Chain A
């Protein structure tokens, strides 16, 4: 191997195809589904389901396919590009529109958790539905009113009663929760504690099917951005699910049996760089808009002159460009490591931290630089500024990413660096 930044022909072709799709099918309706929150672009979603077979090709869903084809675990040493393909694809779709992209059907985080730690029976039962004709969503419910990044504080309980787990508690900020549970025959993976005194070790993921009695969507959030994507609160009141719907082992004390939990947590190492790629797509949209506007106005950007001779505008744009590129390269490194079977938790957090912060700054600066064009809802720039803010928040805020990064660099445990 040698250092190379050239995408393989296969990924390039996919990238071009997805870009055309984003430009022709997503961009034109981006404003409509921002202004009309809680509406879904069903025509588009049905088409996506039909052509992409459940989920973003190469992204969360692609892993499923690959493993199915090989009939087992992928070989670690064989050079793969699955996750890189995912990152590249996601950047293009999110360049089109973040809200609509997030509303795409597919296994989502919930499906990723099943994929990572489900038994063969669970995978068969819960994942097959995503490759059908109709759009289906999977969702993940972790956050609670009083537990965000602090997952050890999860209060939702799961008690074994005969052949069933009984769930009680309230979950908030469940992405695509309505899509999974009301708009399709999907499921949600719910994190609940089987033993509060055990702290994190007592927290387990459970699969809850749509239509399960005792589970109710109590609120659909109105948001700053990504409005096409639904975010809901779900309450569980004596919600009974089959005993076998737990992911991983129910044991609390036996550390050798916590593999399932760890695997689910490890899915975040895979998804964090993909969230970074989402951010980069939005940031690039903003930067493209600025550059096109300046080109129309006949403003030339003088690369290569010394910064103290640049206009403030030139300096800002070059900073934005370098930041965006740096975020993309950090992201590509993180997914490349994953594709090559290397532990990437540090690099995944670095990419997410950089990308989240970079695009919130890029889009905010972009609105500033474009003046009234930036602030006007006639253009999408103000929307991108609102949309991009989520990238510094979901899947672990920027601060949590810094915490994870710092712990790894300093060699501190979570107790040593809180």
Chain B
């Protein structure tokens, strides 16, 4: 029966994460962006919310019952509302953890999951995006070739979050190049493995406080057991789609924040003797922003709901993610526009959201629900 009402647990998650975002993330947003560092105490506090540990069952030392993409996107929207860099830093380990949880072998689950259930933040990285203008996850240039008891990984990656801070990264590479999504596999690789070269920290337009790195793989050899899902391999498109849900949810949250900012500004800023929101030129922009934020949230919810119900959701996740990327740019562009010259000044937050927003067109596989 159709319903748009969150269940009690989701309401609790939403309220808790929302308070955390408002109390700790947002106040630290500007300084964090300027300094390029996420505040570790915020990450530590965020970890205490148990968002990742809450997805992992007790048998792997977690305290969750069932992995829910829907609950995940509800939490991520709130984190995205708070700050994108901090949200992506906090949830960077989710890619490795949830991929293993969703598709790992029993041995892989036992080996890797307990690390994410502790009291202290545990970094983990993932390497999917590649430094080419026409990068596409269905046509990865990075390859993993089998050689006896090992896979040999070669290729270039970028936008690899927390590469230097992590013990492990989940590396995506084509085992069957030319086979599209089904030709891609994931490998759980210790960061210190020979053949991995982590470059200097990247300088991006947005998410400046999130440490991302270029990573080169040169004849990087890993044992067969590192392959996610073992002999079976993994369903890469499914993982990619879970990641797209997470990114889209972050985009909804950040855009909602920008909308709220525009709304408040439009009621307070006086021009020609009345609030600028009294003019349709501004008011209509805000109405459209509100409609699109809600529309995107519902697309994300529906795709996540399908995921939880074990229905096909890959197409829906792709549509939602692309829609979210466009929506975020539209909303945050207007956020700047509505403030006029003030929007261009770094004293105000809208330019930061504007820079962050464009990233969603590029981000893939950096967080997961």
Q: Which of chain B's residues have a CB closer than 8 A to the CB of A337? A: 4
User: How far in angstroms is the closest Cβ of chain A from B337?
Assistant: 16
Tell whether, in the assembled complex, residue B298 and residue A330 are in contact, meaning their CB atoms are under 8 Å apart. yes
| A318, A322, A399, A418: most-surrounded residue (chain B CB, <10 A) | A322
Partner of A329, one of B1, B295, B318: B295
Report how far A304 CA is from B361 CA in the complex, Å. Answer: 13
Q: A318-B319, A409-B263 are in contact. Are A79 and B1 (CB under 8 A)?
A: yes
CB-CB nearest in chain A for B295: A326
How many of A's residues come within 8 Å of B, CB to CB? 50
Q: A330-B294, A330-B298, A417-B283 are in contact. Are A402 and B2 (CB under 8 A)?
A: no
Q: A4-B3, A333-B4 are in contact. Are A350 and B299 (CB under 8 A)?
A: no
Partner of B314, one of A304, A306, A405: A304
Report how far A5 CA is from B320 CA in the complex, Å. Answer: 16
User: How far in angstroms is the closest Cβ of chain A from B205?
Assistant: 17
Partner of B134, one of A5, A308, A330: A308
Tell whether, in the assembled complex, residue B277 and residue A322 are in contact, meaning their CB atoms are under 8 Å apart. no
CB-CB nearest in chain A for B297: A329
Tell whether, in the assembled complex, residue A304 and residue B267 are in contact, meaning their CB atoms are under 8 Å apart. no
User: How far in angstroms is the closest Cβ of chain B from A139?
Assistant: 30
Tell whether, in the assembled complex, residue B1 and residue A333 are in contact, meaning their CB atoms are under 8 Å apart. no
The interface bits of chain A over 320-357 (1 if a CB of B lies within 8 angstroms of the residue's CB, else 0) are 01100111011011001100000000010010011000
Tell whether, in the assembled complex, residue B4 and residue A3 are in contact, meaning their CB atoms are under 8 Å apart. yes
User: How far in angstroms is the closest Cβ of chain B from A402?
Assistant: 4
CB-CB nearest in chain A for B306: A5
Does B166 interact with chain A (Cβ within 8 Å)? no
Does B305 interact with chain A (Cβ within 8 Å)? yes
Report how far A3 CA is from B139 CA in the complex, Å. Answer: 35
User: How far in angstroms is the closest Cβ of chain B from A13?
Assistant: 14
Partner of B305, one of A5, A7, A412, A417: A5
Partner of A1, one of B3, B133, B284, B301: B3
User: How far in angstroms is the closest Cβ of chain A from B39?
Assistant: 32
Does B5 interact with chain A (Cβ within 8 Å)? yes
CB-CB nearest in chain A for B237: A304
User: How far in angstroms is the closest Cβ of chain A from B6?
Assistant: 6
Tell whether, in the assembled complex, residue A410 and residue B4 are in contact, meaning their CB atoms are under 8 Å apart. no
Q: Which of chain B's residues have a CB closer than 8 A to the CB of A401? A: 287
CB-CB nearest in chain B for A10: B1
Q: Which of chain A's residues have a CB closer than 8 A to the CB of B316? A: 325
Q: Which of chain A's residues have a CB closer than 8 A to the CB of B305? A: 3-5
Q: Which of chain A's residues have a CB closer than 8 A to the CB of B296? A: 326
Report how far A326 CA is from B290 CA in the complex, Å. Answer: 13
Partner of B1, one of A8, A309, A399, A409: A8
Report how far A79 CA is from B323 CA in the complex, Å. Answer: 32
The interface bits of chain B over 250-285 (1 if a CB of A lies within 8 angstroms of the residue's CB, else 0) are 000000000000010011000000110110100110
Does A52 interact with chain B (Cβ within 8 Å)? no
Tell whether, in the assembled complex, residue B5 and residue A84 are in contact, meaning their CB atoms are under 8 Å apart. no
Report how far A321 CA is from B275 CA in the complex, Å. Answer: 37
Query: Interface SS of chain B: helix, strand, loop or mixed?
Result: helix
User: How far in angstroms is the closest Cβ of chain B from A83?
Assistant: 11
CB-CB nearest in chain B for A328: B298
Does A411 interact with chain B (Cβ within 8 Å)? yes
Report how far A418 CA is from B296 CA in the complex, Å. Answer: 28
Report how far A282 CA is from B13 CA in the complex, Å. Answer: 39
Tell whether, in the assembled complex, residue B240 and residue A304 are in contact, meaning their CB atoms are under 8 Å apart. yes
CB-CB nearest in chain B for A407: B283
Tell whether, in the assembled complex, residue B295 and residue A354 are in contact, meaning their CB atoms are under 8 Å apart. yes
Tell whether, in the assembled complex, residue B298 and residue A410 are in contact, meaning their CB atoms are under 8 Å apart. no
Report how far A416 CA is from B280 CA in the complex, Å. Answer: 11
Does B302 interact with chain A (Cβ within 8 Å)? yes
Report how far A354 CA is from B134 CA in the complex, Å. Answer: 32
Q: Which of chain A's residues have a CB closer than 8 A to the CB of B275? A: 412, 416
CB-CB nearest in chain A for B285: A406
Report how far A303 CA is from B321 CA in the complex, Å. Answer: 12
Report how far A416 CA is from B279 CA in the complex, Å. Answer: 9
Partner of A3, one of B10, B135, B277, B320: B10
Does A253 interact with chain B (Cβ within 8 Å)? no
Tell whether, in the assembled complex, residue A322 and residue B7 are in contact, meaning their CB atoms are under 8 Å apart. no
Does A307 interact with chain B (Cβ within 8 Å)? yes
CB-CB nearest in chain A for B133: A308
User: How far in angstroms is the closest Cβ of chain A from B160?
Assistant: 18
Does B67 interact with chain A (Cβ within 8 Å)? no
CB-CB nearest in chain B for A315: B322
User: How far in angstroms is the closest Cβ of chain A from B150?
Assistant: 30
Does B70 interact with chain A (Cβ within 8 Å)? yes
The interface bits of chain B over 1-41 (1 if a CB of A lies within 8 angstroms of the residue's CB, else 0) are 11111110010000000000000000000000000000000
Tell whether, in the assembled complex, residue A332 and residue B2 are in contact, meaning their CB atoms are under 8 Å apart. yes
Tell whether, in the assembled complex, residue B5 and residue A1 are in contact, meaning their CB atoms are under 8 Å apart. yes
User: How far in angstroms is the closest Cβ of chain A from B268?
Assistant: 11
User: How far in angstroms is the closest Cβ of chain B from A333?
Assistant: 5
The interface bits of chain B over 192-203 (1 if a CB of A lies within 8 angstroms of the residue's CB, else 0) are 000000000000
Tell whether, in the assembled complex, residue B299 and residue A306 are in contact, meaning their CB atoms are under 8 Å apart. no
Tell whether, in the assembled complex, residue B287 and residue A402 are in contact, meaning their CB atoms are under 8 Å apart. yes
Q: Which of chain A's residues have a CB closer than 8 A to the CB of B7? A: 1-3
Tell whether, in the assembled complex, residue B2 and residue A406 are in contact, meaning their CB atoms are under 8 Å apart. no
Q: Which of chain A's residues have a CB closer than 8 A to the CB of B294? A: 330, 333, 347, 350
Q: Which of chain B's residues have a CB closer than 8 A to the CB of A307? A: 322, 361
Tell whether, in the assembled complex, residue A3 and residue B5 are in contact, meaning their CB atoms are under 8 Å apart. yes
Report how far A308 CA is from B137 CA in the complex, Å. Answer: 12
Q: Which of chain B's residues have a CB closer than 8 A to the CB of A411? A: 267
Q: Which of chain A's residues have a CB closer than 8 A to the CB of B135? A: 306
Report how far A399 CA is from B314 CA in the complex, Å. Answer: 35
Tell whether, in the assembled complex, residue B291 and residue A306 are in contact, meaning their CB atoms are under 8 Å apart. no
Does B108 interact with chain A (Cβ within 8 Å)? no
Does A313 interact with chain B (Cβ within 8 Å)? no
User: How far in angstroms is the closest Cβ of chain A from B28?
Assistant: 28
Does B209 interact with chain A (Cβ within 8 Å)? no
Tell whether, in the assembled complex, residue A303 and residue B319 are in contact, meaning their CB atoms are under 8 Å apart. yes
Report how far A321 CA is from B320 CA in the complex, Å. Answer: 10
Tell whether, in the assembled complex, residue B267 and residue A4 are in contact, meaning their CB atoms are under 8 Å apart. no
Does A163 interact with chain B (Cβ within 8 Å)? no
User: How far in angstroms is the closest Cβ of chain B from A267?
Assistant: 22
Does A269 interact with chain B (Cβ within 8 Å)? no
Q: A325-B319, A402-B288, A403-B280 are in contact. Are A3 and B70 (CB under 8 A)?
A: yes
Give 16 A-B contacts (CB < 8 Å), ordered by A residue.
A3-B301, A81-B1, A81-B2, A304-B237, A305-B138, A326-B296, A326-B323, A327-B295, A332-B2, A347-B294, A350-B294, A406-B277, A409-B287, A410-B277, A416-B275, A418-B280
Q: Using A322-B322, A350-B294, A402-B280 as known contacts, list a sample of 6 further A-B pairs with CB atoms less than 8 Å apart, ordered by residue number in A.
A: A3-B5, A304-B137, A305-B136, A325-B319, A347-B294, A406-B287
Closest A-B pairs by Cβ, 3 of them: A329-B298, A326-B295, A406-B283
